[in-house]
């Protein structure tokens, strides 16, 4: 496949029949040595196509996996979602498909009919129908919310009480007719809230310090009862520390049974039953975290002591604000099983996405040693690092 016309080098990309490598050659040089070679897929590439307008290559392998990459560096673009974030969003999509009578997403036009607005797993897209381009994505940072139903209010132009948007944002001359601030009203999957997207800023400076969210809904009665029962029956008997004995040393962890009783109960019961014995750290990312707890050893296995996924337990005092935080791995909201990870740096972007249920209090050097082991492309250590067993001190 030819790469790009007009380059000094006549680059030609060739895939390897028996491996996942792509080799780029300079056709004018007469050399059989490749300029650059790199693995793009996990299997042999069957076809690839260069898009001249976006300077991007799209390729597909023998397993049906499609990738897109930069032809100059043979690297994936760094503008997309993190794998964890994308996996979480996809898990919500699957949950919506399985839920009976789940609200179906809708689409709305603005009053000019120039823009089409509709919710997606990335956020709410505003598409310009004349240019066929996405003009804006609303709610992309709300990665815990999957918006489904939306309605657009653009104001009553006949009303005398028309609110003007800030002059700096609107660049409005005071003598002209005031512009109307459109508001998008949204509902999200399994959320008892209404979301409003607007260009309006708080009218008073002190309002801005309170934050944008208003928490005024009451939890359902069954949730309150469940929390009360758990607090009374479980927290008094749950351990608050464990010791992981690994092939590289011991890791002492403090647990928080009062703040997240269900998570600690699940974790310590697995520890007592030997569930974690001889399991490997299947995912190790330097400068991020080490992950374990999967009997299959590939990140796709493991289950809770109840045989099903269980709910998240977020607590305002337990954040990913420091290294050596122990947190549950998941595939989306309320999908906890048996896998957990230990961070090696502060990871605040994981707050309210993963349940923090412990901290490493001794053996930080062991965590750092595991973090530094060599790994393959899938972040799996070449040489297995295992949990030998777990001790729960009395």
As annotated, the active-site residues are 283, 288, 291, 330, 341, 350, 354
CA atoms of 33 and 24, how far apart (whole Å): 9
- Distance from chain centroid for Cα 52: 31
CA atoms of 187 and 192, how far apart (whole Å): 8
**Burial class for 339, CB neighbours closer than 10 Å (0-12, 13-18, 19+):** buried
Residue carrying structure tokens 């796709």: 300
Q: In this structure, what token pair is assigned to residue 320?
A: 């990913």
DSSP state of 29: T
SS3 call for 89: helix
Please say whether the beta carbons of 330 and 88 come within 8 A. Answer: yes
Half-sphere exposure in the Cβ direction for 180 (13 Å, CA): 15
Torsion of CA 120, 121, 125, 129, to 10 degrees: -50
Please say whether the beta carbons of 327 and 353 come within 8 A. Answer: no
CA atoms of 298 and 332, how far apart (whole Å): 18
Of 295, 300, 288, nearest to 375 (Cα)? 288
Q: What b/e sequence results for 280-304 when a residue is b if at least 16 CB atoms lie within 10 Å of its CB, and e otherwise?
A: bbbbbeeebbbbbbbeebebeebbb
Residue carrying structure tokens 């023998």: 62
CA atoms of 393 and 243, how far apart (whole Å): 8
Q: In this structure, what token pair is assigned to residue 392?
A: 């729960």
């Amino acid at each position: 496949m030819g790469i790009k016309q007009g380059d000094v080098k006549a680059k030609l990309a060739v895939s390897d029949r028996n491996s996942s490598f792509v080799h780029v050659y300079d056709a004018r040089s007469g050399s059989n040595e490749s300029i650059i070679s790199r693995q793009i897929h996990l299997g042999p590439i069957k076809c690839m196509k260069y898009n001249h307008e976006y300077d991007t290559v799209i390729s597909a392998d023998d397993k049906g996996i499609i990738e897109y990459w930069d032809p100059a560096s043979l690297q994936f673009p760094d503008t997309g979602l993190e794998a964890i974030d994308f996996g979480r969003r996809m898990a919500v999509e699957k949950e919506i498909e399985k839920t009976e009578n789940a609200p179906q997403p809708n689409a709305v036009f603005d009053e000019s009919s120039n823009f089409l607005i509709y919710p997606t797993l990335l956020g709410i897209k505003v598409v310009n129908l004349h240019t066929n381009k996405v003009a804006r994505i609303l709610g992309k940072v709300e990665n815990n919310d999957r918006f489904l139903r939306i309605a657009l209010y653009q104001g009553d132009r006949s009303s005398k009480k028309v609110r003007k948007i800030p002059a700096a944002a609107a660049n409005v001359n005071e003598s002209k007719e005031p512009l109307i601030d459109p508001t998008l009203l949204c509902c999200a999957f399994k959320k008892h809230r209404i979301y409003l997207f607007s260009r309006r800023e708080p009218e008073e400076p002190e309002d801005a310090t309170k934050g944008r969210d208003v928490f005024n809904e009451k939890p359902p009665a069954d949730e309150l009862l469940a929390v009360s029962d758990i607090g009374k029956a479980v927290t008094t008997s749950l351990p608050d520390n464990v010791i992981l004995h690994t092939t590289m040393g011991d890791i002492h962890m403090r647990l928080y049974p009062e703040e997240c009783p269900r998570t600690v109960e699940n974790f310590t019961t697995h520890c007592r039953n030997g569930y974690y014995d001889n399991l490997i750290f299947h995912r190790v990312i330097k400068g991020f975290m080490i992950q374990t707890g999967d009997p299959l050893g590939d990140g796709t296995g493991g289950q809770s002591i109840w045989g099903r996924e269980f709910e998240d337990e977020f607590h305002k005092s337990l954040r990913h604000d420091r290294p050596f935080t122990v947190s549950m791995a998941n595939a989306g909201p309320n999908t906890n099983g048996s896998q957990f990870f230990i961070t090696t740096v502060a990871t605040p972007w994981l707050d309210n996405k993963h349940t923090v249920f412990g901290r490493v209090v001794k053996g930080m050097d062991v965590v750092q040693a595991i973090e530094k082991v060599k790994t393959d492309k899938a972040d799996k250590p070449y040489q297995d690092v295992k949990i030998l067993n777990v001790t729960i001190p009395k």
